[in-house]
Structure 1
Amino acid sequence: MPQDIDIRIPLPGRQSPDHARAEAEQLAWPRSLGLIKSDMAAERHLRGSYADLASRFYPHAAGPDLDLGVDLMSWFFLFDDLFDGPRGEDPEEARQLTEAVAAALDGPLPEAAPPIAHGFADVWRRTCEGMTPAWCARSARHWRNYLDGYIDEAASRFWNRPCDSAAQYLGMRRHTIGVQPTVDLAERAGRFEVPHRVFDSTLLSAMLQVAVDVNLMLNDIASLEKEEARGEQNNLVLILHREHGWSRSRSIAHLQDEVHARLEQFLLLESCLPRLGEIYQLDPGEREALERYRTDAIRPVIRGSYDWHRSSGRYDAEFAHAAGSRGYLEELGSTAR
């Protein structure tokens, strides 16, 4: 996030007290699975500050629970980088890889599955530990939506048909931003579950959509220069220029206003949660789980995203140059084969 872009987030910043230990140990998991093989890749990964992100998304977690969050963030970005090259422009290649990963949701993977799929299988196995079958089924649906979104994005690039409106783009990007699986893991990290009968309520769905939209808007502002450099046309700033003829500065200002409007909506929505508990006749334990979902899941994914985008090196010029190097692309591609 450019330092001259300051977006007021009316939510407190939080971070796990165990973040320093988790940051010191964050490379062990991706290295053990062959997802990071060289010092160059390790250095690049550390510049992304994914352990810092996890400690902000899951401020209530420590020890193995925080480690799971760190490994999920590492996996997310390693997987996403696989689509920066030709695979991201070929819907069939995208389908093959996403299906190899999604197979872990249905059972053990074959030995020959790519390392990136085995990495997801390990995260998914640990994610389901101690959670009910209903919760695991709900989270699996969210993962399938996330993975399917990569095929849609690849098809858009393959046919050279970038989104021509913000509404069209949001419909696609809300899946691949990965916020829903990220929020799901907050329940697992905190060892609680939102009552299933209220999860799909209009109120909770609206709160989650605010979290999703704020994340993707922040991400598109932060990643604009990186995406422009590699010819990506599906970025909200660029789409607003095509749709309305706005300048870059006006498009970014519009997104800032959109973020503020959504955050005002969020504060109003969360004030209605006690009434939701009354309507669904939640018992004290269920009300506590709903409150924890507000404080330990949705709020941190909004504020944590903002704080991380302002401090991470993932979108600076040095990072982008390393990402485009032939050696790195070859090493990264090997995790998908």
Structure 2
Amino acid sequence: MDTRPKTIYLPDTMVNWPWPRTVNPHFEDVKAEADAWFRDFKALTPKSQEAFDKCEFARLAALIYPNASREYLRIGCDLMNVFFIFDDYTDVQNEAVTKEIVDIMLDALHNPQKMRPEGEHILGEIVRQFWARTIQSASLSSQRHFLETFTAYLHAVVTEVIDREQGHSKRSIDDYLKLRRYTSGVKPTYSIVEMGMDLPDEVFYNPVIMELAECITDVALIDNDMISYNKEQAAGNEDHNIVSTVMLELGLDRGGAMAWAANYHAEAQKRFIDGLAKVPSWGPSIDVLVKEYLDGMAMFVRGHKSWGYEGHRYCGTRGLEIQQTRLVPLLPKANLIEVGV
């Protein structure tokens, strides 16, 4: 008999975050354009496409990039689609197939003018078109930073697949966080924020800036793991999740693990806000870019959190209600009907 509690409590982790929810004014126009582009690939079955549409990844982009120009918001929308189609494909694939897809995507990124071969995985052409559009307007520094962080993300997903395939998914909390900072895909998303600026490498790789970026990455991945845990435990693939990792290592129940994650989240928020006072000066013209970049990161996590409830990927149609009550009905195992994925 299953005696587990039938609800999950989701702590309100962002209640004191100074950056408010904002949505990009170009949202509706760009959504129609980006959705039509993606649908043309016919990358999903009709049922999967319907579920994909409910997730509203264009809304995610509009929330995490509220100040982006129309052009960069479109790139952000396309990137969200790339992330999630790759995620959905590799969630059920083995190491060999995942590596093959990763090689195709990397080749498309490094050769965006080259036509993709007949019969290749559709992600090759999706990524090629995404990157060909991006390089028309993105600064060279942001392109470099994106390629570096996105490549690391792809390789980290291969490691996650190997973990799952070989039954090595029970990592320690520290090891899990080291890998999750890459598999979350958060780091490449910062590149959209800097696409309209030439952010020097001495700024991007400055230890203070790198630490602030890591704090934001931790805030985002903890929020994502907490809200996605219900869907993942129902599907039986919750091993790559901070809640399960904490339960295993510290011997806590689900509620205790959620509380641990919320506390870690609060510490990461504090490190970010305190760290802003330690940002060096590079002169007025650079400092204004640095502030815009860091504000963009801060708004990213607010938007990401908001989308968790406004989109239907994790909470189905009950997201706004759950946002108020903080209570999520526990999904039974192998039942994803309610979340629509």
Q: Which residue of 1 aligns with 2:100?
A: 96
- The match for 1:298 is 297
1-side partners of 2:268 and 2:188: how far apart? 21
TM-score w.r.t. length of structure 1: 0.86
The 1:309/1:196 distance shift into structure 2, 3 A limit, reads: same
Cα distance, 1:317–1:299 mapped onto 2, change above 3 Å: closer
Q: Is the 8 A contact 1:44 1:322 kept in 2?
A: no
The secondary structure found in structure 2 opposite 1:82 is: helix
Q: Which residue of 2 aligns with 1:153?
A: 160
5+ residue gaps in structure 1? 326-337
The aligned runs of 1:99-138 (5 Å cut-off) are 99-107=103-111, 108-112=114-118, 113-138=120-145
Q: Name the structure 2 match of 1:33.
A: 41
Q: CA deviation at 1:163?
A: 2.9
Q: Deviations over 1:266-299 (max 9, x none)?
A: 11111222xx11xxxx24322221111012x211
User: Separation in 2 of the partners of 1:245 and 1:3?
Assistant: 18
1:225 corresponding residue in structure 2: 230
How far is the alpha carbon of 1:235 from its aligned partner?
Answer: 1.2
C-alpha distance after superposition, 1:39-69 (max 9, x if no partner):
x333212211211110111111243322221
After the TM superposition, list the runs of 4 or more consecutive aligned residues in structure 1 that deviate by more than 4 angstroms. 322-325
Cα offset, 1:217, TM superposition: 0.6
User: 1:167-190 CA deviation, whole Å, 9 max, x = no partner?
Assistant: 1111111111111111111222xx
Whether contact under 8 Å (1:91, 1:158) holds in the other structure is yes
Q: 1:172-191 maps to which residues of 2 (within 5 A)?
A: 172-188=179-195, 191=196
Map residues 43-58 of structure 1 onto 2, 5 A cutoff: 43-58=50-65
Correspondence for 2:250: 244
**Is 1:13 aligned to residue 37 of structure 2?**
no
Deviations 1:102-143 (A, max 9, x none): 112221353333211211122122222234444422321111
- 1:83 pairs with 2:90: yes
**TM-score, structure 2 normalization:** 0.85
1:35 and 1:147 mapped to 2: Cα distance? 19
- Greater share of helix: 1
Q: One-letter code of the match for 1:292?
A: E
- Alignment of 1:216 with 2:215, yes or no, is no
Task: Calculate percent identity across the aligned residue pairs.
Answer: 24
Name the amino acid aligned to 2:275: L
Letter in 2 for 1:259: H
Give the gaps of 5 or more residues in structure 2.
1-7, 318-334
Alignment of 1:156-171 (within 5 A): 156-171=163-178
Is 2:331 aligned against 1:320? no
| Aligned match of 1:207 | 212
Q: In 2, distance between residues paired with 1:118 and 1:70?
A: 16
Q: Secondary structure, in 3 states, of the residue corresponding to 2:336? A: helix
Quote the offset at 1:321 in angstroms: 3.0
